[in-house]
Each structure stands twice: as structure tokens, then as C-alpha cells.
């Protein structure tokens, strides 16, 4: 199964990588590696992720306070958000509504 990012989720990932890299050299790369590992877990075991809505699941990222919010669409994993778990818990829900309207 392939995966792709909602444009805002990709921006979140890039911002978090930059932030962690500024905190400590190599930490941004470590964060990106943990995100990729969470995506791979989600692809391999999609039902193991926590349900956050009817068709949406969250996979926690190891070592960092983030989760991958995703849905399976047309046999692809759609990453809706790379969400910091201590900020605005449901902000990403508007992205689901927009995607329904657009296709």
C-alpha cells in the first residue's frame, strides 16, 4: 500500500523536523525516522491504530508527542495530519470535510 500526505500534513512534518533539528542536530532526522516507522506500522496493521472517528485512525509516534492521523482511501493511506498531541486536538477534522467536498 502506498501513502501520501495532505498538503497541510506535509507542512506539519517539515515544520516539526526543522524545529527538532534546531533543538539538536540530528533530532529532526530522528523525528522523521519515527514518523516513517509509524506510517509503516499503520500500513502493515491499520486496524491496530486507535479510531478517532468512523474512518480515521491515529498511530502514535515513538519518542515524540505526535500522532499520525490517517485514512485508507482507494487502497492508499492518506496522511491527514502529523499532529502534536498536546495542541488543538481536533483541528485536522476540517481536512476530512474538505476532502469529501473535493472528491
Backbone φ and ψ of 67, nearest 5°: -140, 150
pLDDT per residue over 26-63, tens digit each? 999 999 999 999 999 999 998 999 999 889 999 999 99
Q: Are strands 50-53 and 56-60 parallel, antiparallel or unpaired?
A: antiparallel
Quick one: average pLDDT of 76-82?
A: 96
Cβ atoms of 47 and 77 within 8 Å: the answer is no
Q: What is the CATH number of the domain that holds 35?
A: 3.30.2310.20
Residue-number span of the structural domain to which 29 is assigned: 2-102
C-alpha cell at 22: 534546531
Q: Write out the H or E segment, with its range, that includes residue 53.
A: strand 50-53
Indicate if the pLDDT at residue 101 is higher than 50: no
The tally of domains found in the chain comes to 1
- What local confidence, expressed as pLDDT, does residue 103 receive? 45
Amino acid at each position: 500500500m502506498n501513502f501520501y500526505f495532505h498538503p497541510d500534513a506535509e507542512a506539519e512534518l517539515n515544520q516539526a523536523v526543522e524545529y527538532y533539528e534546531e533543538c539538536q542536530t540530528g533530532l529532526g532526522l530522528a523525528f522523521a525516522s519515527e514518523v516513517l516507522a509509524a506510517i509503516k506500522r499503520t500500513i502493515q496493521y491499520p486496524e491496530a491504530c486507535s479510531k478517532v472517528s468512523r474512518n480515521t485512525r491515529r498511530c502514535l509516534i515513538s519518542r515524540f508527542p505526535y500522532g499520525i492521523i490517517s485514512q485508507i482511501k482507494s487502497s492508499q493511506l492518506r496522511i491527514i495530519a502529523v499532529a502534536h498531541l498536546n495542541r488543538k486536538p481536533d483541528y485536522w477534522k476540517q481536512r476530512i470535510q474538505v476532502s469529501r467536498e473535493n472528491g
